[in-house]
Amino acid sequence: MTSRSSQPEGRSDGGHDIHGLLDRFARLGATPGGGITRLCASPADGEARDLFAALLGEAGAIVTTDGVGNQFGRFPLAGVEGAPLVMAGSHLDSQMRAGRLDGTLGVVAALEVGRTLMGRKRDGAPFDADFCAVNWTNEEGARFRPSLLGSGAYAGHHDAAFALSRRDDDGVSLGDALEAIEYRGRDAAPAVPACYLELHVEQGSVLEEEGATIGVVARNWGALKVEAVFEGEQAHTGPTRMDRRRDALLAAAHAITAARALADRWPGRLHTSVGRLLVEPNSPNVVPARVALSLEVRSADDAVLAEAGRFADALLATAAAEAGVGLTIATRSERPIRSLPQAVGDLVSFCAETSGHRTLRMDTVAGHDALSLLGRCPLGLIFVPSVGGVAHNEREATHAADLDAGRDVLLDAADRLCRAGGSPERATRSPGSAPERTERRPGSAP
Amino acid sequence: MTSRSSQPEGRSDGGHDIHGLLDRFARLGATPGGGITRLCASPADGEARDLFAALLGEAGAIVTTDGVGNQFGRFPLAGVEGAPLVMAGSHLDSQMRAGRLDGTLGVVAALEVGRTLMGRKRDGAPFDADFCAVNWTNEEGARFRPSLLGSGAYAGHHDAAFALSRRDDDGVSLGDALEAIEYRGRDAAPAVPACYLELHVEQGSVLEEEGATIGVVARNWGALKVEAVFEGEQAHTGPTRMDRRRDALLAAAHAITAARALADRWPGRLHTSVGRLLVEPNSPNVVPARVALSLEVRSADDAVLAEAGRFADALLATAAAEAGVGLTIATRSERPIRSLPQAVGDLVSFCAETSGHRTLRMDTVAGHDALSLLGRCPLGLIFVPSVGGVAHNEREATHAADLDAGRDVLLDAADRLCRAGGSPERATRSPGSAPERTERRPGSAP
C-alpha cells in the first residue's frame, strides 16, 4: 500500500477512501457544469443504488431494500442475534444540477465506517452493537413531494402507500418509478436503531465564518410549507380587456414579492422563499388559468414562525384578491422547532475535540433525514463546512481536509457507540480508537 | 334531403354544413371540459389534418402540403392553367384546453366555400379564378414559438429551416414533430394569391357590445413581444442567507406586477401580459436559478406602443436589479400597427350588408394568419361575435346564426372574387349569388 496521505483525495488507509468513492458516485448523473442531476428513482439514482449495494456487499454487509426503496447495509459486528443497531447514512438522490456532496457524503461516509468497523472486528475489536449504513429514498423532494419520504415512512410519519402514491410532474408515481429501477424492495426495514448518526455538508456559511470544522447540530429551524393554488380564468392575452382578466400568474407574482418582503420584518431570523411554480397553460398569449406555488417560511424562533405563518396565510389571500382569482391551500405543513438529543451531541463533540477539531453547536435550517427520526431514537447530525455556504448548486464544495474530519468524527462516534450497545452516554466514556487516527499527520506512514 | 333549417347546427343545404363539420373536428383532441387541446403537430393535429385532407379530396380539391406542413386544397374553378387564386383559411392547431372554433372555423368555412363553389361550377357558374382552402401550421405559438410559423414562412418573413428548427419544451423540433405525424410535406406551396380571406371568431366582446354580426377588420393592434431570461444563482432555500440570494423567480415576479401596473397608465388602450414562465430548477427548496418569461404589450396607438415598449424594457431591467440577478433579452419582436386593405374590407362589408347583417369596422387585437400576408397580397379578415368575449378557453362560443352569417359572407365574397379574377374592386361590382341565400328563412325549404 502506497502512502498518499499528503493527498487527502487519494488516501487509502485501511479502505475508507471517501474521496475516490465520492468521485465514483459523482459520475452517476454527472452534469456538464460539474455537478449531478440524480433525481429520486431516476436511472442515475438506480445506478448509484447499484453501486452502493455492490460496495456494501463487498464490505461484508447484509443488504436489504424496504418497500419504499430505503437501502440498508447491516454490518454484523456484535456476532449475536438481536444486537442493538447503530445506524448512519443520508441520501443518494439530488436536486437538478446539484452538488456532488449533498446526501452522498453521508451515505459514502457511513459505508466506509461500516467497512472500517468490519476490519476492526476481524482484528478483534469487542463490539456489542451492529452497524447499519442507509440510503433514504427521496430526501430532496425535487421529483416527488413532500421531501423526506423514505425516512418519514421508516419513522412512521406516513405509511408506505402514501409515499409510493406520490407522483412527479409527468404523473409517474414513486412506486412505479422505483419498480422501473428495480428498487421497490420487499424486505422488512430494520427496527428503529439505538442511535442514528448523519454526516452532511452544512449548506450554509456559519462554520466557515466561525472558523469551525465540525458542526454539532443542536436544534432545527421550524418550517411552514404551503402548496397554494391560484385559480383564475383562461383567456386570450390580446383582445381580453384588462379589467376582465383573472390572471392566476399575477396573483402568484404578488405572493412572491410579498413573501420576500415578509422576510425583511425579521432580518436574519426569517427565511422565506417560493422555489416552485407550475403555470397552466403556460403559453405566451394565454392569460394563465391556474398556478400552483410552493411557499416556505423558516425560523428558529417559535414566536416569529407563528406570526410569520399568519402573515404568509394572509399574503396568499391578499394576492388572490388583488388579481381577482380563487385560492386553494392544497397542503400546509409545519415542522416544529426542536432540540436534538444532548447526549449524542456531547458524544460528537467529544469525538471531534479529541481529534483536535474546532466544533460549533449550531442550528440546521435545512431539513435532513435525521430529523425524521427525532423522537423515535437518539440521533446526531454532524456538519462539515460548505465553501462559501453554496448549496443546491453545482459549485457546492467542501475542502478535502474537512471531509476527512467529518468522516473521522463519524467513524469515531460510531465505533464508540458499537462498543457501548448503541448508548451515546456510555459511548462518550468508552475507549474508542480515535488516537490511532489523530496521530497520523501528512507525510507520515499510515 | 331533409329540411332542417330551423336547426342551424344541422343544416345541410347543398353540403356546406359547417356545424356538423365543427362537431367532427371538435372530437379530435377533445377535452373533458368541452374544448380541445390540439397542439401543433401532435397526434390530434395529425388526425385533424387527415380529416381536412380527406374532406378536401372528396370535395374535388387538389391537396398538397408544403415543407412546413401548411395544407392547401386547390379547387380548379377556372379550368385553365395559371388562373389567379383566391385563398381562404386559418389553422387547426389550438392552445391547451382551448375552444373548438378558434382557427377551425376559418378552415372549415373555407372547405365548405370550396365545396359550394365547385358545385356552382358544375352548375355552370363562370369562374375565372381558382379557390384554395388552407390550414396554416402553428398559428398559436402554444407548442412552438413564435406563433404564425406556417403563414410566416409562406409569406417569406422567415425561411422554412427556421420554422422547422423551432423546439417545444421537450426539445422536439417542429420538423421532427411534423415527420412523426407525416405532415412534413414535399410539395411546393401555391404562389401568393390574388386575394386572401380569413373568417375567425372575434375573441373579444366588441361585436357583442355593439350589436353587430360581422366584424370587418380594418386595422391590427401593434404588439411588442419579449422573451426575457433572468439568471440568478441556484441555492438552498433553507440555510442561504436572504441577503445572499439571487432569486430569478423574484425578479420575474417584480416584472409581472410591474407589467400589470403599466397597463393602468393607458386604461383600455394598452394590454400587457405575462402568459408563460419557465422556472429552473423549479423545486420547492431551491432558490430558482433561471426564469424565462414571455411578456406581451399591445396597443392600437403608435405613440402609446412606443412609450410602453420603453417602459417594458425598463421594468425588466429594474426587476433584475431589484433581485440582484442578470437579465438577457432572448428575443424582442414588434408587430407594427397597420391598416388592412380598404378594397377587401369594402367587399366584405358589401357582401354582409347585402345579406342584411349589421357590420362594424374594427381592430383585431390578436394576431392571425391573415396578418402574415399583409403587404404580400390584398386580404380581408372577417370576425363573428364571441359570446362574452371568451377566448383561449374551453367555454369559447359563437351563436349558430352568427357562424352561419360568417360562413355566408365568406362564401359570397369568395364567389364574387372567383368571378372577378381575384380583384376585390371588381368583385364588389360583380353579380355574385348572394340573393339565393338571403331569401332562405327558418322553416322554408332550401
CA distance between the termini of chain A: 9
A5 pLDDT above the threshold of 80: no
Name the domain boundary from A284, A301, A335. A335
Q: Which of residues 107-136 of A touch B (CB under 8 A)?
A: none
Strand partners, B274: B295
**Phi/psi at B362 (5° precision):** -150, 175
User: Are residues B160 and B307 both part of a single domain?
Assistant: no
Q: Please tell me the predicted confidence (pLDDT) of residue B441.
A: 35
Task: Report pLDDT for B58.
Answer: 97
Q: Identify the pLDDT of residue A431.
A: 66
Q: Are B144 and B166 in contact (CB under 8 A)?
A: yes
Name the residue type at position A413: A
Q: With a CB-CB cutoff of 8 Å, which residues 376-415 of chain A face chain B?
A: 389-394
- Map grid coordinates 331533409 to a residue: B2
Which of A147, A238, A250 is nearest residue B203 as measured by Cβ atoms?
A238
In whole angstroms, give the CA distance from residue A5 to residue A440.
9
B356: CATH: 3.40.630.10
Q: Is residue A1 part of a domain?
A: no
Shared-domain flag, residues A25 and A127: yes
Type of residue found at B391: A
- The predicted pLDDT at position B11 comes to 36
What is the mean predicted confidence (pLDDT) over A16-27?
92
What does the alpha-carbon distance between residue A76 and residue A83 come to, in Å, rounded to a whole number?
9
Residue type, A352: A
For residues A110 and A199, membership in a common domain is answered with yes
Separation of alpha carbons B321 and B445, rounded Å = 70
pLDDT tens digits, one per residue of A286-298:
999 999 999 999 9
Please say whether the dihedral angle defined by the alpha carbons of residues B342, B348, B351 and B352, taken in this order, is positive or negative.
negative
Instruction: List the single residue in A247, A254, A366 with the smallest CB-CB distance to B238.
Output: A366
Put simply, the answer to whether A247 touches B260 (Cβ < 8 Å) is yes
Predicted confidence band of residue A361 (pLDDT cuts 50, 70, 90) = very high
Is residue A2, in this structure, part of any structural domain at all?
no
Q: Provide Rg for chain B, Cα atoms.
A: 23
Do A247 and A151 reside in the same domain of the chain?
no
Q: Which three cell numbers stand for residue A185?
A: 424492495
Q: What is the pLDDT of residues B187-227, one digit of tens each?
A: 999 999 999 999 999 999 999 999 999 999 999 999 999 99
Q: Does B225 touch chain A (CB under 8 A)?
A: yes
A 231-290 → B contacts, CB under 8 A = 233-242, 244-245, 247, 249-250, 252-257, 260, 263-264, 267-268, 271-289
Q: Tell me which residue has cell 412534413.
A: B184
Nearest CB partner across the interface for B275, out of A271, A286, A298: A286
Burial class (CB in 10 A: 0-12, 13-18, 19+), A170: exposed
Give the number of beta-carbon pairs within 8 Å between A and B.
255
B91 touching A (Cβ < 8 Å):
no
Q: Classify residue B315: in a domain, yes or no.
A: yes
Whether residue B410 sits in one domain with residue B319 = no
Write down which residue in B302, B335, B368 finishes a domain.
B335
Least confident residue range of A205-209, A307-311, B12-16, B55-59: B12-16
Cell of A121: 472486528
Below-70 pLDDT ranges, chain B:
1-16, 430-446
Look at residue A114 and tell me if it is in a domain: yes
Choose the final residue of a domain: A335, A354, A383: A335
Instruction: Indicate whether A3 belongs to any domain.
Output: no
* Span B326-365, pLDDT tens digits: 999 999 999 999 999 999 999 999 999 999 999 999 999 9
pLDDT confidence bin for A432, thresholds 50/70/90 = low
Statement: residue A436 has pLDDT above 70: no
Strand partners, B71: B65, B135
* Residue B296: CATH number of its domain: 3.30.70.360
Same domain, B15 and B99: yes
Q: Residue A325: inside a domain, yes or no?
A: yes
Closest CB to B275 among A237, A277, A298: A237
Mean pLDDT of A125-143: 97
A332 forms beta bridges with: A226
- d(CA B251, CA A412) in angstroms, rounded, equals 47
**Is A271 within 8 Å of B141 when comparing Cβ atoms?**
no
Q: Which three cell numbers stand for residue A274?
A: 417560493
- Are B307 and B187 in the same domain? no
Whether A444 maps to a domain, the answer reads: no
Together in a domain, A27 and A175: yes
Same domain, B143 and B239: no
Tell me the angle at which helices A43-58 and A104-122 cross, rounded to the nearest 10 degrees: 10
- What pLDDT does A429 receive? 83
Q: What is the DSSP string of A294-355?
A: EEEEEES-HHHHHHHHHHHHHHHHHHHHHHT-EEEEEEEEEE--EEPPHHHHHHHHHHHHHT
Kindly state whether residue A443 falls inside one of the protein's structural domains.
no
Residue B316: domain span: 224-335
Residue B85: beta bridge partners?
A: B130
Q: Which of B378, B382, B383, B373 is nearest to B344 (CA)?
A: B378
Report the domain count for chain A: 2
Residue contact B274–A205, C-beta within 8 A: no
One domain, residues A146 and A105? yes
Residue B197 cell numbers, joined: 380571406
Residues B163 and B70 grouped into a single domain: yes
Contacts of A284 in chain B (CB under 8 A): 141, 145, 147, 225, 275-276, 294, 296
What ipTM score was computed for the predicted complex, to two decimals? 0.89
Please state, rounded to an integer, the average pLDDT across all residues of chain A.
93
Q: In terms of domains, do B206 and B242 share one?
A: no
At residue A416's C-alpha, the angle toward residues A415 and A419, to 5°, is 90
Query: Inter-chain contact B247–A204, Cβ cutoff 8 Å?
Result: no
**A positions 22-51 inside 8 Å of B (CB):** none
